A and B are shown apart, each in its own frame.
Chain A
């Protein structure tokens, strides 16, 4: 079974967001990690490989430094990496990312494509599903469980207030939700091995693309930070008093109960 995992390098979730002098998100000094939802995709791919054999290829689009995230995935046990990096891809939208990934993935044999259901940076939750449409294959978003039988998959998908059981034909794109599995940590041995694994670095020309055909559909006009909240009232006293006072304030002052 050949599995492709799409991965994005993102800011650490504990990172504070700063806007620089030119109005852009400042990445100076921010720790970069594998998007946490992509880790669930990697883990699921590795479990499938352990069960059915085959190869796991990690594909990422991003700056050169994103190779570090690919190396971590290789250390976890993935076999090969592909990094697409190009000066023409500085501010891609989800449409651009999906177009580029689809071209790269079309060159790799695959039975299943796993991606995180959302990237914790831009939080669009689009690329996996867009990718499936470009490759003309089915997709299921936000999966919690995956079982494979030949060229059929049965997945449990999270919906609002419950779950759906979905049967689909492979190949397919599945987007991983938290709860699918518990991602492993790279072992020492894995880290050593990862250094020797192949990471192919491609630019747009290598994929037969050029930047002028990849003008984003979406324009970001402005980044801003939320108005900081400030500490409000401290309610002090005996437990019974504070509970009564809080209930009263919620009803009479905040009018929310």
Chain B
């Protein structure tokens, strides 16, 4: 009999990813409704101290797998360890963040277990039989599919920035279970040789609360500086449209849209972006959208909460100054 819901916690250098806490917080609400135990699973090296933290965010039980071979994420080792643990403990659902790790790990694990996976979900709820069902965007956000599975466990990855992180309750304690990793040489056929993190202090696009994005209207790579200056005042990430990326003005990793990143920030400021359907698909779920564009007919104005028809080269620097004033208040 399958029991309990699991959340796989992603951490790096003993720092828990925000999306893991978002998933844990939301799953706590669901576990309260179903009365099921909620477990957190942490893989890594030197992670014992994280158990109290996930307990404070709602885990009833914490599985720790501490091994130096798990220090960096590798598909093979992580899949192997989790496959064994899930078969042994039989949870009914296993959730994680839809991050670079989640996107690689979850399908591998689902296949190893012979089960279904709901990817990149933006909604979850329980049905009459207390079983989880998920809402996930398809066609880059132009439509949604409500999905479920009658095969246990069901796996799901949850999009960052969808669910709020609950206030931690430091008085909560969890049962801690230490598991040993058995890693087969075949699990290490792909080895991480080096990790190069971008030097930017700005938040990661998919997790950013605020994004300021530039499109064709930016006119050239040198002009992204004005967006960066604004971004740094309000703690935003910088994004771009496909037109700007295809013109070679900015790296692909900054592209927002159906063929780039899908984002759901609290505030999305679109500068010189016309609003092609494939771009809107990637940012249409932002809570508040601002559009600054010279063309009053630009499609982006049809969905912007605040629209300014004007020259972004004049307006954005002035806006940066206004934000500075607000921040210094």
Could you tell me if A247 and B319 are in contact, using CB atoms closer than 8 angstroms? yes
Contact bitstring A89-103, B, C-beta under 8 A = 1, else 0 = 000011100100000
- B 283-327 contacts with A by CB, 8 A: 284-285, 287-290, 301-311, 314-315, 318-319, 321-323, 325-326
Nearest B residue to A128 via CB reads B107
Could you tell me if A254 and B150 are in contact, using CB atoms closer than 8 angstroms? no
The CA of A179 and the CA of B255, in the complex, are separated in Å by: 11
Contacts of A147 in B (CB 8 A): none
- Tell me whether B138 is interfacial, beta carbon within 8 Å: yes
Contacts of B151 in A (CB 8 A): 217
- Tell me whether A236 is interfacial, beta carbon within 8 Å: yes
CB-contact partner of A169 in B189, B267, B304, under 8 A: B189
Q: A120-B139, A168-B189, A168-B191 are in contact. Are A125 and B315 (CB under 8 A)?
A: no
Could you tell me if B306 and A130 are in contact, using CB atoms closer than 8 angstroms? no
Q: What's the dominant secondary structure at chain A's contact region?
A: mixed
Count chain B residues whose beta carbon lies closer than 8 angstroms to a beta carbon of A.
94
The CA of A235 and the CA of B318, in the complex, are separated in Å by: 14
Nearest A residue to B118 via CB reads A218
Contact bitstring B65-97, A, C-beta under 8 A = 1, else 0 = 000000010011001000000000000000000
- Tell me whether A250 is interfacial, beta carbon within 8 Å: yes
Nearest B residue to A14 via CB reads B277
- Tell me whether A31 is interfacial, beta carbon within 8 Å: no
Q: A133-B112, A221-B146 are in contact. Are A257 and B311 (CB under 8 A)?
A: no
Contacts of A219 in B (CB 8 A): 147-150
- Within the complex, the shortest CB–CB distance from A148 to chain B, in Å, comes to 14
Contact bitstring B138-155, A, C-beta under 8 A = 1, else 0 = 111111111111110000
| A79-87, A104-112, A134-142, A193-201: which lies at the interface | A134-142
Using a CB–CB cutoff of 8 Å, the interface residues on chain B facing chain A are 72, 75-76, 79, 99-101, 103-104, 106-108, 110-112, 114-120, 133, 136-151, 189-198, 204, 206-207, 210, 234, 245, 251-253, 255, 258-260, 266-267, 276-278, 281, 284-285, 287-290, 301-311, 314-315, 318-319, 321-323, 325-326
Using a CB–CB cutoff of 8 Å, the interface residues on chain A facing chain B are 11, 13-17, 19, 25, 36-37, 93-95, 98, 120-127, 129-130, 132-134, 137-142, 154, 157-169, 172, 177-179, 216-226, 228-236, 239-240, 242-244, 246-251, 254, 256-257
A–B pairs, 10, beta carbons within 8 Å: A25-B143, A95-B116, A161-B198, A178-B245, A178-B259, A229-B284, A235-B307, A246-B322, A247-B322, A254-B267
